Amino acid sequence: MSLKTSFAVIYLLLAGVCIPVQAQQPLDPARRYLIIHSDDAGMSHSVNKATIAAMEHGLVTSCSIMTACPWFPEFAAWARQHPEMDFGIHLTLNSEFEKYRWGPVAGRDRVSSLVDADGWLHRRKEDVQKHARPADVETELRAQIDRAISAGIRLSHLDTHMGTVVSTGEMLEIYVRLGLEYKLPVMIMRHIDPELAAGYPDLATKNGLYIESLRAQGLPAIDWLYQFYDGNDPVARKKRYLDTFHALKPGVSQMIIHCGTDDAELQGITGSHFLRGDDTRIFSDPAVKAEIEGMGIELLSWTQLRQRAGRP
């Protein structure tokens, strides 16, 4: 059974259609698995184009969608036509760019603590932490998930834009509770880098408890998380990715990347346009795929992780 066929079968099962399905092999704790995950789908046309290409022809196994962004409808139309692909919701409480902004899905009047003086979502994580009321956070996050469901997108997981939703204990609790309610895994990891833990103390101290709560409902977590959103040398960036993959430990790792077409639109939005262009090229390169396969690493999506992790 091909990867695309497997996803289509899973989709039909989730829709309540009873058909035979090939058994998924359980995860081997001695093996190394990797989710290559592209953030920010729906952010712009250039990001949509690159994300779609990297999912259809490259190594990207999963992506997450920003339903608050102006180009969400374009990506949603493609996602509806490709239920075999893997889509999460990139829960968004920030609108960080200088000239390209977006507001809350729930409406400014309903979640007034989440918007700045101009009516957009706050730019910085620290502004959200300072001003956001937990009730407004929950209202907005529900609205973002429901917008994707209403658009006909089959969802595989939840994660968080800029880490904001996991940056306080109150928001972290809402994040996990929504995963349990919507029966979706949330991106939370067993092993947290000490440097990252310093900025996310609640996540670092409560991750084990929340992972167990999720696992009890058949919702798996990942073991390790990596992201390199820096550097200006494409060759060095590619080497850093490959070196990281060589050094992966047994278990499930996720590498977060940011795909984009380095064009005039993306250049007008963000100074990191070249990083997004690099990620698209690196993770569309057959030679990179061959190297990863040569390391004995198996690529996974969140859908496959859930199917293969099994229930308690």
pLDDT digits (tens, 9 = 90+) for 25-57: 899 999 999 999 999 999 999 999 999 999 999
Q: Is the pTM of this model over 0.85?
A: yes
CA dist 29 to 22, 186, 300, Å? 21, 20, 14
Residues 59-71 as b or e (16 or more Cβ within 10 Å = b): bbbbbbbbbbbeb
Contacts 24+ apart (CB under 8 A), 229-235: 229/258, 229/272, 229/275, 230/275, 231/275, 232/274, 234/278, 234/281, 234/282
pLDDT at 303: 97
On whether the CB atoms of residues 223 and 254 are closer than 8 A, the answer is no
Q: What is the pLDDT of residues 161-177, one digit of tens each?
A: 999 999 999 999 999 99
User: Which domains can be identified in the chain, with CATH numbers?
Assistant: 28-309 (3.20.20.370)
In whole angstroms, give the CA distance from residue 111 to residue 38. 28
The single-letter code of the amino acid at 64 is: S
Residues 273-303 as b or e (16 or more Cβ within 10 Å = b): bbbbbbbbbbbbeeebeebbeeeebbbbbbb
In whole angstroms, give the CA distance from residue 200 to residue 206. 10
Residue 161 DSSP one-character state? G
Q: What parts of the chain have a pLDDT lower than 50?
A: 1-22, 312
Q: Which of 82, 156, 92 is nearest to 121 (CA)?
A: 92
On whether the CB atoms of residues 119 and 108 are closer than 8 A, the answer is yes
- Residue identified by tokens 């992972």 is 211
pLDDT at 311: 54
- DSSP, collapsed to helix, strand or coil, labels residue 182 as helix
pLDDT at 3: 43
pLDDT at 22: 42
Count other Cβ atoms within 10 Å, centred on residue 198.
10
